């Protein structure tokens, strides 16, 4: 169980840990392949729920569950799930709503938050380049609050492959960057970006790459009136997704 805390351990076992009632419930509802559920022996309700789903259930003491989990307080239940399959690019590009591409986003909390936001806005999916954090990382799973089981995610995708799929689907590509040539709200009101845009978000340390910039149709900046030089990557993803998903209202408010 503790081997699943590392990327190498997860790859070897082809499995990952899901901790806490919310995430385990999301896994159950999504039909994810769950190998086993571990429940604190005093939690009768979760034991019955897992058994009702015909899952293998093992009751353990709170100390044993804590030793298995990555967090200090796993909230009484955790599950071992098969690794989530990478969704085909065409499936994501042919879906409804914007697409979020995370280029070399290495912070697990930011990756998980971005996936959760994509779920909230009804995005078509999330694409991660090879340098991004593993979506099965415990911090990613917890930050998604179960959304990783709902949102189509394609992992280990290079930029050229992503761009080809976007072009075939007739989607435009926009980069969110501080030095963008067009303001986000102006881009929305002018029709440069819309509900089918593919949004590229760069890494926390280095921002978007020169290669990504060269492949994009538009370089878009998020207006900032305070003293901050930039936004957190996950926050930037949330802003561009919500503004383009609800463009009419956003552009009206901006005016």
Please compute the mean of the pLDDT values over residues 108-120 and round it to a whole number.
Answer: 97
How many beta carbons lie within 10 A of that of residue 192, not counting itself? 16
Please compute the mean of the pLDDT values over residues 63-79 and round it to a whole number.
Answer: 90
Q: CATH number for 89-254: choose from 3.40.50.1100, 3.40.1280.10, 2.30.29.30, 3.30.420.40.
A: 3.40.1280.10
Of the candidates 132, 236, 120, 215, the one whose C-alpha atom is nearest the C-alpha of residue 172 is 215
- Looking at residue 80, its pLDDT comes to 97
Is 51 or 140 the better-scoring residue by pLDDT?
140
Q: What is the pLDDT of residues 206-249, one digit of tens each?
A: 889 999 999 999 999 999 888 887 889 999 999 999 999 876 54
Question: How far is Cα of residue 15 from the mean position of the Cα atoms in its chain?
Answer: 18
Q: What is the pLDDT of residues 143-181, one digit of tens each?
A: 999 999 999 999 999 999 999 999 999 999 999 998 899
- Looking at residue 44, its pLDDT comes to 84
Q: CATH number for 2-82: choose from 3.30.1330.30, 3.40.50.1860, 3.40.630.40, 3.40.309.10.
A: 3.30.1330.30
The Cα 177–Cα 213 span in angstroms is: 9
CATH 3.40.1280.10 boundaries in the chain: 89-254
pTM: 0.91
Which strands sit side by side in the sheet containing 15-19, from one edge to the other?
15-19, 77-82, 34-40, 57-60
- Looking at residue 226, its pLDDT comes to 86
Residue 250 — pLDDT band, cuts 50, 70, 90? very low
Percentage with pLDDT > 70 across the chain? 96
Please compute the mean of the pLDDT values over residues 183-192 and round it to a whole number.
Answer: 95
Is 250 or 48 the better-scoring residue by pLDDT?
48
Please compute the mean of the pLDDT values over residues 112-122 and round it to a whole number.
Answer: 97
* Average pLDDT across the chain, whole number: 92
């Amino acid at each position: 169980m503790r081997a699943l805390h590392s990327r190498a351990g997860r790859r070897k076992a082809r499995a990952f840990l899901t901790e806490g009632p919310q995430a385990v419930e999301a896994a159950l509802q999504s039909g994810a392949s769950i190998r086993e559920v571990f429940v604190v022996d005093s939690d009768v309700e979760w034991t019955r729920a897992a058994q009702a789903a015909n899952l293998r259930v093992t009751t353990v003491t709170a100390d044993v569950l804590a030793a298995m989990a990555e967090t200090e307080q796993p909230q009484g239940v955790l599950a071992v799930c098969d690794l989530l399959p990478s969704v085909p690019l065409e499936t994501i590009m042919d879906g409804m709503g914007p697409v979020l591409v995370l280029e070399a986003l290495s912070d697990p909390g930011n990756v998980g938050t971005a996936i959760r936001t994509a779920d909230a806005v009804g995005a078509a999916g999330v694409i991660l380049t090879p340098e991004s954090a593993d979506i099965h990382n415990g911090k990613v799973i917890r930050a998604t609050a179960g959304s990783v089981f709902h949102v189509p995610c394609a992992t280990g995708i290079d930029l050229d492959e992503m761009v080809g799929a976007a072009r075939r689907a007739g989607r435009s590509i926009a980069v969110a960057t501080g030095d963008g040539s067009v303001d986000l709200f102006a881009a929305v009101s002018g029709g440069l970006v819309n509900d089918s845009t593919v949004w590229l978000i760069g890494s926390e340390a280095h921002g978007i790459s020169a290669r990504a910039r060269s492949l994009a149709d538009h370089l878009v900046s998020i207006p900032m009136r305070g003293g901050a030089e930039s936004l957190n990557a996950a926050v930037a993803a949330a802003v561009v997704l919500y503004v383009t998903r609800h463009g009419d209202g956003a552009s009206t408010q901006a005016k």
